[in-house]
Structure 1
Amino acid sequence: MELLFVTLGGAILGLIARYALPHRAAHGAVLVPAVGTAVAAFVWVALTWLGWAWDGGWIWWVSLGASFVVAVVVDLWLGRRRAEHDKRMLHTLTRSGVPARA
Structure 2
Amino acid sequence: MYILLALIGACALGIAAHFLIGDRELRGVALTPAIATAVSAITYTGLQWSGVGEDSIWLWLASVLGAPVVAALATVAITGMRKRSDAASRAALGI
**TM-score in terms of structure 2 length:** 0.93
Unpaired runs of 5+ in structure 2?
none
Name the amino acid aligned to 1:73. Answer: L
Matched, 1:61 2:55: no
Moved over 4 A (4+): none
Q: Residues of 2 paired with 1:10 and 1:53: CA distance?
A: 19
- Counterpart of 2:47 in structure 1 is 47
Pairwise CA distance, 1:26: 1.1
Q: Is the 8 A contact 1:23 1:76 kept in 2?
A: no
2:80 corresponds to 1:74: no
* Counterpart residue number, 1:11: 11
State which drifts further: 53-62 or 73-82: 53-62
Please give the per-residue CA displacement for 1:41-76, whole angstroms capped at 9, x wherever unaligned: 110000000111112222101112320221111110
1:26 and 1:78 in contact (8 A); partners too = no
RMSD between aligned alpha carbons? 1.2
Cα distance in 2 between the residues matched to 1:89 and 1:5: 42
Residue 11 of structure 1: how far off its partner (Å): 0.5
Percent identical among aligned pairs is 29
Q: Structure 1: which 5+ runs fail to align?
A: 96-102
Q: Find the structure with the greater CA-based Rg.
A: 1
Q: How many residue pairs get matched?
A: 95
Provide Cα deviations, 1:62-99, integer angstroms capped at 9, x if missing partner. Answer: 1123202211111100111101111110111117xxxx
Report the TM-score when normalising by structure 1: 0.87
1:24 aligns with 2:19: no
Q: Is the 8 A contact 1:47 1:59 kept in 2?
A: yes
